[in-house]
Amino acid sequence: MTMDAALLVGIPADFRYLAGTPFHIVNEKYVLAVTGALGAVPVLIPALAEALPIDALLTRIDGLLIPGSPSNVDPARYGNGASPAGTLKDARRDASTLPLIRAALTAGVPLLAICRGVQELNVALGGTLHERVHEEEGRHDHRAPLDASIDVRYAPSHRVQLAPGGMLATALGTEQAAVNSVHWQAIDRLAPNLDVEATAEDGTIEAVRVADAPNFAVGVQWHPEYRFADDAVSRALFGAFAAAMRARAEKLRRAA
């Protein structure tokens, strides 16, 4: 896809210490999905927490992609107790993305949230999470083997049922899809203004839509950014996101 320099997509970064040095980082697969699947220019958003100029930022981007990450949302953000020992967290990312998500929805900036992103979306709007969904009674193990190759880890591993007549089922042209599964956390109590768009066979919520959003605002638990060019569901999802961004950009251009 030819890159459209007129469209800018913000991608919030993780905050991580590597070899004792602080970094703001984003996995390259999200950058490549923005350029390749959306034909847009990625803008990496540093995890500046309260210092992030959210309002100014949202006037300059056309869409917001909230990416996955190895870290968990801190349960203190949704009123739960301490995490199990050894859980990787990212307080700077939490402090950056949660208010950014709420502000983007208010501003009508199209939003696509992936894996940790859909978990952040749920928490930002008042929901809660399972930190280890595989330990919940009746739930499957949604993790992928860490010692496997990337292709194996991100291969389709289970099916999801899309809500009949829902936005995703309509956009994707199907009511079932095979998706990958690379997560420990999952949505527990759904935020009040989220609608379920897809579920796994064990009842785990796999996709949501912000019911009262003025624009495209969807979160998925799987990873559509991996091999996006080869997967029809991923292409349709990114296509809907891109269409919303182009429509909003054109509307703003005409109003200027």
Whether pLDDT at 4 is above 70? no
Average pLDDT over residues 144-151: 78
Q: How confident is the model at residue 121 (pLDDT cuts 50, 70, 90)?
A: very high
pLDDT band at 142 (very low <50, low <70, confident <90, very high): low
Query: What pLDDT, on a 0 to 100 scale, did the predictor assign at position 151?
Result: 86
Tell me what pLDDT residue 86 has.
Answer: 79
Percent of the chain with pLDDT over 90: 77
* pLDDT band with cut points at 50, 70 and 90 for residue 98: very high
Task: Point out the catalytic residue in the list 115, 120, 142, 197.
Answer: 115
Any bridge partners for residue 208, and if so which? 196, 219
Tell me the per-residue pLDDT of 43-95, one tens digit each, with 9 for 90 and over. 999 999 999 999 999 999 999 999 999 999 999 999 988 888 778 999 999 99
* pLDDT at residue number 256: 80
How many other CB atoms are found less than 10 A from the CB of residue 125?
A: 18
Whole-number pLDDT of residue 103: 98
What is the SS3 assignment for 243? helix
DSSP 84: P
Residue type, 244: A
Q: How many CB atoms lie within 10 A of CB 31?
A: 18
Question: Average pLDDT in the 230-249 region?
Answer: 95
- pTM as predicted: 0.94
* pLDDT tens sequence across 244-256: 999 999 999 899 8
Q: Helix 116-124 to helix 91-107 angle, to the nearest 10 degrees?
A: 70
At residue 102 the predicted structure's pLDDT band, cuts being 50, 70 and 90, is: very high
Q: What angle do CA 91, 92, 98 make, to 5 degrees?
A: 85
Which residues, in sequence order, are CB contacts of 60 under 8 Å at separation 6+? 8, 43
Mean predicted lDDT score pLDDT of the chain = 92
Contacts 24+ apart (CB under 8 A), 165-172: 166/195, 166/197, 166/198, 166/209, 167/197, 167/209, 167/218, 168/197, 168/198, 168/207, 168/209, 168/218, 168/237, 169/197, 171/236, 171/237, 171/239, 171/240, 172/232, 172/233, 172/236, 172/237
Residue with the larger pLDDT of the pair 134 and 164: 164
Q: Out of 120, 131, 197, 225, which one is annotated catalytic?
A: 225
Whether 115 sits among the annotated catalytic residues: the reply is yes
- Known catalytic residue: 130? no
Structure tokens at 54: 């959210």
* 3-state percent breakdown (helix, strand, coil) of the chain, nearest 5: 35, 25, 45
User: Which residues, 6+ apart, have CB-to-CB distance to 196 below 8 Å?
Assistant: 163, 190, 205, 207, 208
On whether the CB atoms of residues 233 and 174 are closer than 8 A, the answer is: yes
Contact 226, 162 (CB under 8 A): no
Q: How far is CA 191 from CA 50, 152, 188, 243, 246, in A?
A: 23, 32, 9, 26, 28
Q: What's the pLDDT at 172? A: 85
What digits encode the pLDDT tens for the residues 205-222? 999 999 999 999 999 999
For range 139-163, the mean pLDDT: 81
